[in-house]
Structure 1
Amino acid sequence: MLSDILRLSVFSVEILYFASLLLISIVGFHWYRLCWLYIKNRKRSSLLPPPPDVSPLPSVTVQIPVYNEVYVIKRVIEAVCAIDYPAHLFEIQVLDDSTDETSEIAGEVIEREKQRGVNISHIRRRTRRGFKAGALKDAFGSARGEFIALFDADFVPPRDFLRSILGCFSDPRVGIAQACWGHTNMEQSLLTRLQSVFLDGHFVIEQAGRSASGLFLNFNGTASVIRRECLVSSGGWHEDTMAEDLDLSCRAQLKGWKIQYLKALVCPAEIPSDIAAFKSQQRRWTGGGVQNAKKFFAALISNKGFSAAFRIEAAFHLLRSFLSPLFHFYLFSAVVIAIVGGGFPASAYNIVGATAFAASGGIFLFYTLAVLESSPERKIWRFAAVPFVIVLLSGISISNAQEVYRCLAGRGGGFVRTPKTASVAQTGHIYGQKFNFTAFLELAAAGALLFCAFAGGVKDPLMKGILTAFSGAFLYVFFLSVKTHIGRFFRGS
């Protein structure tokens, strides 16, 4: 009886192993597809649209949602006020939910800009209901522009931003236009360098390839412009997810609107300067992805008005948050099988392993291509960073997986801001977050993988190497977490 139970348990683990590894392999082969979409449309994706083919020019409202941004608020307001656009068609709204001295700094800058003739207003709310989406929703009624431009507080838009992006709307089907994110503090640390490569993969390769191919696209909530008619017809801003940008992207495309991406228009922004801020950002993006998958997956996939290719890209985008749990299922099942053995023939393991190995090249190609296409000078360190980007993403997978489980259980949704510091010393700013005890789970995972690799009975040298590599990923993120918070402790912040 006991032997039957054990055989059934091992069989179940083997099924989990094959299923998780095959699904991860499908994701890996999708990276190849994203690279192909970009390469196929490379020339077209690198062009700016012609100037707006409208006369007279449309009115534009720029909205800057703000919450406790003492380090960057002055910079973003001044950059937006410097945008080249006719003054009588241009208004700025600073949507300020701050509870610290940010409001005072913003007020001083706004008054100074008003004296220069800039049409700018300072909008305050009694509560932070709905967070960013709530602020945008509440301010929409007072916005007079035919188009709404959005900038988060850490962005520094170029002077020609509006004149460069409004040409997208010469096509009446385009409801949203998105610019490429640049990096103001890429060279600040190893962590910001790795994040720059990670972000370039999305903005330089994925977004450009999908947009040029007319496939599903998400706008990124900032450095973007929305047609008022699109926002109204899509139902306005919704407050029920942590990713209001993806939420609106899905609703707009379901209503028949197109989203256009401009790789050639770069809007610099700040990369999270420490691991706590980065993990917080990624948890929010992951949780928002799960919430939007629950909300829109069926509607998008079943809509016969979209091409099969469009629906495939929508599925990959909405389900990407589930990669972290899938990765953990693979690790768990691989360790168990490596220790106790399996009942399937060796040929089955060889075939699945070879498939996964071939698929794993997709992510390396994806980020290598991003480095090639985003860095004219092609710095050596950016190429060397590619494998370490994968290490970083593996290391934060426990934090992301926790958010997936919370959102699936309906307990997610807490909006936690990503601190912006304008490159203030990583541990010297006032917005340090509380220590997250997920770091100890990362340490425990690293220790467990190392134990299994060298003292737990794993004999396969390849599996030992895999477990050691992922152990190093968890240790790296744990080290950064402890280092960040120890530094803040000694600085008294």
Structure 2
Amino acid sequence: MLVLQIVLIGLFGLCLLLLAGFSLTQWQLTRLARRAYAAPPEPEPVVPTEWPRLTVQLPLYNEQYVVERLLDACAALRYPAARLHVQVLDDSTDATVELVAARVAQYQARGLRIDHVRRPNRAGYKAGALAHGLTLTDGELIAIFDADFLPEPDFLERVVPHFFRDEPSGPRTGVVQTRWGHLNEEYSLLTTLQAFGLNAHFLVEQPGRQAGGHFLNFNGTGGIWRRSCIEDAGGWSADTLTEDLDLSYRAQLRGWRFRYLPQVAAPAELPATMDALKSQQFRWTKGAAETARKHLGAVWRSGQPFSTRLYATFHLLNSSVFVAILLMAVLSVPLVFVRALGAEQLRPAFRLASLFLLALGPLVFYFYTAWQQAVRYRTPPSPGFAGQLALFLAFSMGLSLHNARAVLLGLLGQRSAFIRTPKLGLLQRQGSWRGRHYRTERLLSGLTWLEGVLMLYFGGGIAAGLYLREFGLLPTHLLLTTGYGLVFYHSLRHA
């Protein structure tokens, strides 16, 4: 029995160590980001004397609720008409096709160079559509917007000049990425928590990596590529679910520079239903694991500085933190009984296991910095930081089963289809997902019921801690019970 207890605490401690390493990495990125925000802003780049040929690519698949507003927004983009080409890469199989055809004909009649591109099949999913579009255009720069984005009219005018900052002897800029804004952040608790997490990536991680000279990533949309960079890096590939992260690493390993502009926002719609959110999370976490499997070796064989290789490793393995969280969570309930079994010699180790929340300490600094910057960039009043952080941490823990499964499938190399995230055309508190909702998976899968079981399991951990007067893991179990409760409740409600 003692051996079993030692193994239990050892595994828990290993997970705790991995989580602490992740937290410290985010803390260091926060320090770099704060330093960048405190520095004097760069002067605005000079407007080019001749604007480069630019193609706006809009990859679509069954986007009937948002496609018309997307086309209207892209038709309103300010750019020299003779240098602009809009490609609607439409792989749809529903009413989207007719909606696109009508809007494209309308804008063609007004003189806009816009094409409705239809492929015979959906080979390669989004990556395949983007690659196919490149064969049909002469654009030197390629802007990409997913269907749920609404770029401002001055987006191209603000972003394109940053490609002309390059030093004559330095690496050329291959990508300029912008920050994601949120069209429906206040729609529900679900969208508010997503915005809270995404803001941390766009307002701390990306600026921190840029300030430290580390690898960035194109976020799949809301950015502009130099066409020669795409081609030099080997083009779009569909062998991972995150074609954007994959190409980002291939390009930077080839020496291309990425720029990130937090001051420019590309507003987008957040998933409003749990199965849409889970679909997106599955694709992001599994795709990141697939990309890590594909590129980690090349990263460490590259001539990049050690710090850049280390940050790239944490970047690519970011999603693996869910595996550690899940294992640590499951082990935490038996740990409550360690003291009850009378293992006094393990008492110090048990106290160490109670330090789970301390490993999250650096994340408070990380998220607080993101919250501060979000307040700076946002016009609506921002709710309290402490409550949002507690709910976000709980909700992230509640997704650990779902996301850990995706990570493991990615690391094991198991292939799966690219399932797009449903977009429903929701703005702030307006409209309802009911009647517009369509599903990405079965109504209630076995995984959903297991999430409900885990909610009860961690609730049992709370009860055991109170009964045995062992309070060290009580805050952890409160977060886990709340998180799995939120995920299970919304899964039932949206089913």
User: Which of the five TM-score ranges fits, normalised by the shorter chain?
Assistant: over 0.9
Give the structure 2 partner of residue 311 of structure 1.
Answer: 309
Q: 1:301–1:314: 8 Å Cα contact kept in structure 2?
A: no
Q: 2:13–2:353: 8 Å Cα contact kept in structure 1?
A: yes
Q: 1:45–1:212: 8 Å Cα contact kept in structure 2?
A: no
Instruction: Report the secondary structure of 2:360's partner residue.
Output: helix
| Distance 1:320-1:380 versus aligned 2 partners, 3 A rule | same
User: Partners in 2 of 1:287 and 1:330 — Cα distance?
Assistant: 20
Residues 195-234 of structure 1: per-residue CA shift (max 9 Å, x gap): 1111111111111221233211111010111111101110
User: Partners in 2 of 1:468 and 1:368 — Cα distance?
Assistant: 22
Deviates more, 1:166-175 or 1:131-140: 166-175
Q: Report deviation, 1:326.
A: 0.5
Instruction: Report the secondary structure of 1:381's partner residue.
Output: coil
Give the structure 1 partner of residue 184 of structure 2.
Answer: 185
Residues 423-443 of structure 1: per-residue CA shift (max 9 Å, x gap): 141233142343242221110
Q: 1:48–1:265: 8 Å Cα contact kept in structure 2?
A: no
Moved >6 Å (runs of 4+): none
Q: Does 2:306 correspond to 1:297?
A: no
User: Partners in 2 of 1:107 and 1:37 — Cα distance?
Assistant: 47
User: Partners in 2 of 1:235 and 1:338 — Cα distance?
Assistant: 52
Instruction: Report the secondary structure of 2:192's partner residue.
Output: helix
Give the structure 2 partner of residue 25 of structure 1.
Answer: 20
User: Partners in 1 of 2:456 and 2:477 — Cα distance?
Assistant: 10
Give the structure 1 partner of residue 126 of structure 2.
Answer: 132
Q: Report deviation, 1:89.
A: 0.6
Give the structure 2 partner of residue 483 of structure 1.
Answer: 493
| Distance 1:241-1:475 versus aligned 2 partners, 3 A rule | same
Q: 1:454–1:464: 8 Å Cα contact kept in structure 2?
A: no
Residues 379-425 of structure 1: per-residue CA shift (max 9 Å, x gap): 35252312111111111111111112222333243211100011141
Q: List runs of 5+ in structure 2 lacking aligned partners.
A: none
Give the partner amino acid of 1:27: F
Give the partner amino acid of 2:246: D
Q: Does 2:75 correspond to 1:76?
A: no
Q: Report deviation, 1:459.
A: 4.0
| Distance 1:358-1:14 versus aligned 2 partners, 3 A rule | closer
Choose the corresponding residue for 2:457, options 440, 448, 457: 448
Give the structure 1 partner of residue 369 of structure 2.
Answer: 369
Q: TM-score, normalised by structure 2?
A: 0.92
Give the structure 1 partner of residue 484 of structure 2.
Answer: 474
CA RMSD in angstroms, aligned pairs only: 2.0
Q: Report deviation, 1:313.
A: 1.5
User: Partners in 2 of 1:192 and 1:331 — Cα distance?
Assistant: 25
Q: 1:290–1:319: 8 Å Cα contact kept in structure 2?
A: yes
Give the structure 2 partner of residue 491 of structure 1.
Answer: none
Q: 2:124–2:238: 8 Å Cα contact kept in structure 1?
A: yes
| Distance 1:57-1:272 versus aligned 2 partners, 3 A rule | same
Identical-pair percentage: 35
Give the partner amino acid of 2:338: V
Q: 2:451–2:488: 8 Å Cα contact kept in structure 1?
A: yes
Q: List runs of 5+ in structure 1 lacking aligned partners.
A: 1-5, 486-493
Q: Does 2:420 correspond to 1:435?
A: no
Give the structure 1 partner of residue 9 of structure 2.
Answer: 14
| Distance 1:477-1:46 versus aligned 2 partners, 3 A rule | farther
Q: TM-score, normalised by structure 1?
A: 0.92
Residues 409-424 of structure 1 mapped to structure 2, 5 A cutoff: 409-423=412-426, 424=431
Give the structure 2 partner of residue 490 of structure 1.
Answer: none
Deviates more, 1:59-68 or 1:40-49: 40-49
Give the structure 2 partner of residue 407 of structure 1.
Answer: 410
Residues 122-159 of structure 1: per-residue CA shift (max 9 Å, x gap): 00011111100011111211121111110001111111
Give the structure 2 partner of residue 488 of structure 1.
Answer: none
Choose the corresponding residue for 2:108, options 92, 106, 114: 114
Choose the corresponding residue for 1:123, options 117, 125, 129: 117
Give the structure 2 partner of residue 100 of structure 1.
Answer: 94
User: Partners in 1 of 2:77 and 2:307 — Cα distance?
Assistant: 38
Q: 1:180–1:266: 8 Å Cα contact kept in structure 2?
A: yes
User: Partners in 2 of 1:100 and 1:419 — Cα distance?
Assistant: 13
Q: Report deviation, 1:309.
A: 2.1
User: Partners in 2 of 1:26 and 1:344 — Cα distance?
Assistant: 28
